A = this chain, B = another copy of it.
Amino acid sequence: MAPPTLKLQEISQHNSQTSCWVIIKDNVYDVTEFLQEHPGGSSIILKYAGKDATLAYEPIHPLDALDKNSPPVQFVGQVESGTAQVLHRERESRKKTKDDIRVEEAHKRKPPLSRILSLADIEKVASQVLSHKAWAYYSSGADEQITHSENTRAFSRFFFHARVMRPVGDCDPSTTILGFRSSIPIFASGAALAKLGHPNGEANITRGAGKEGIIQMVSSNASLSYAEIISVAVPPQVLFFQLYKNKVDAVAEKRVREVERLGYQAIFLTVDAIVAGNREADIRSPWILEDEESGVTPVWDENVLPEGVNINGTAGALVNNDAKDMSFEKTIPWLRGITKLPIVIKGIQCVEDAVSAADAGVDGILLSNHGGRQLDYSMPPMEVLYRLRRQRPDIFDRLEVYIDGGAYRGTDVVKALCLGAKAVGFGRAFLYAQSAYGEAGVAKIIQLLKREIVTVMQLVGARTVSDLKPEMVERVDWEPLTRSKL
């Protein structure tokens, strides 16, 4: 049965909390009942009540999100074809904002990929070519961003005791993660909303990781659907899934079973983001745009932030429905009960919880403070790793330990491996790389890290990752000059 065809005039009458329709591409949806469930709040939807919401919708939602959100979202019909063409033209001819123009110009001026020599180089390009909104969301950390910068600075306190006169000619940097092979001891850590930076979104990371032989962890909050992402993977390429557990167990279970069915190979249960961190740069972003560009309504505006309501920018929208009452005692057995995949806890921030995780029998822990985006003054992962190595070296025999947050260089990766980490995750770096150069950018940073890791391994006297030992690093008691950041 052909769907009903609707005229703009009719649609425009459904413009209130009582009856709210929105146009996404050529389709019309009734979202009245969904208003209260929208993670980002109802205000942002009501701005488009009775209107075309396509441009606001596309950059941050998977294409199949509307299907998944049913039943509360109801498909009403299609825009009549003449109107559809008008809307299409209007979208095309939408007056570019100053920020749009700045981004276009920056893309023209960016250096050729062959001139990118480091992750910092690519981050710099990303800072120039990303929209203000995307940069604010990707780069921001909690409060004063102390932990964000301390994550990186923590690596600087570790110096090498390099060993010489060892045969390292045929250095091999490969390793395994949960038994799956990785060409170098790094992985793409979960990070949301890749489409904000590039229309191909997370698929850029999938393709680049596949080409270079590393594993990608896909976020619950990916801007492509989990099926779309895994569909571009080339077997035997491995993908892991980063689970933000919904407060309703059944909803969470459905998601876990879905990704297992799709072929994801491990569950990284995220525990450090049960509420939104205070990312002021992200919250402030729409105001800055608004000030820059009077006349153009920003996606976020002041009215979204009524006094006293706890909404924290993009991050706030994403975690609204997540569980805030998990426990080692209940949540891990529940998860074991619904999946046979290996389970890793992502977001361990102290030695005590590393021990609890081992006692709970998980397969791995990812020492992480969410890239400094959640709790400011959370101990940097490299420091937690160091304490774990000194206080409880037995834990490394009971599960695999990974870290993410703050790493930029092959030296950082090798230092963490010396202390017992199995691999090091990179989050923002992949968002930046795909935003600046798409899939090729993703491959590039893996190549750069590989070259750096191999060089460092050879220079510290290690032929394989198993040759990297705690005595090869020393935590120094002085403060090195901080590496220059962007």
Contact = CB atoms under 8 A, between A and B. Distances in A.
Interface of A: 112, 114-115, 117-118, 143-144, 146, 149-150, 153, 156-169, 271-272, 274-278, 280, 283-284, 287, 302, 305, 307-308, 310, 324-328, 331, 345, 347-353, 356, 369, 374-379, 383, 409, 411, 415, 444, 447, 451-452, 454-456, 458-460, 471, 474, 476-484
B481 A114 contact: no
B144 A375 contact: no
Nearest to A312: B455
B274 A458 contact: yes
A359 to B, nearest CB: 12
A120 to B, nearest CB: 8
B459 A163 contact: no
A305 B143 contact: no
Contacts of A166: 326-327
A351 B149 CA distance: 32
B458 A353 contact: no
Contact of A302 (B114, B162, B310, B347): B114
A353 B146 CA distance: 34
B168 A324 contact: yes
Contacts of A349: 160-164
A238 B86 CA distance: 63
A460 B144 contact: no
A114 B311 CA distance: 12
A52 to B, nearest CB: 28
B326 A165 contact: yes
Contacts of A458: 274-275, 324
A455 B278 contact: yes
Contact of A165 (B158, B331, B378, B474): B331
A143 B409 contact: yes
B144 A352 contact: no
Given A117-B284, A118-B280, A162-B350, A325 B379 contact: no
A369 B411 CA distance: 15
Contact of A162 (B167, B168, B272, B345): B272
Contacts of A477: 477
Nearest to A154: B478
A214 to B, nearest CB: 15
Given A146-B483, A165-B356, A307-B447, A379 B153 contact: no
A322 to B, nearest CB: 10
B325 A169 contact: yes
Contacts of A376: 409, 411
Given A160-B375, A411-B377, A459-B272, A310 B352 contact: no
Nearest to A454: B310
A353 B164 CA distance: 7
The 8 closest A-B pairs by CB, nearest first: A161-B350, A167-B325, A169-B324, A375-B459, A164-B271, A144-B483, A162-B349, A169-B325
27 contacts: A112-B302, A115-B287, A117-B280, A118-B280, A143-B411, A143-B452, A144-B409, A153-B478, A161-B379, A162-B272, A162-B349, A162-B375, A163-B350, A163-B353, A164-B272, A164-B347, A166-B327, A167-B324, A169-B324, A274-B458, A275-B455, A275-B458, A307-B444, A324-B458, A376-B409, A379-B476, A479-B479
Contacts of A444: 307
In the complex, which of the residues A143, A168, A284, A305 has the most CB atoms of chain B within 10 Å of its own CB atom? A143
Contacts of A451: 278, 310
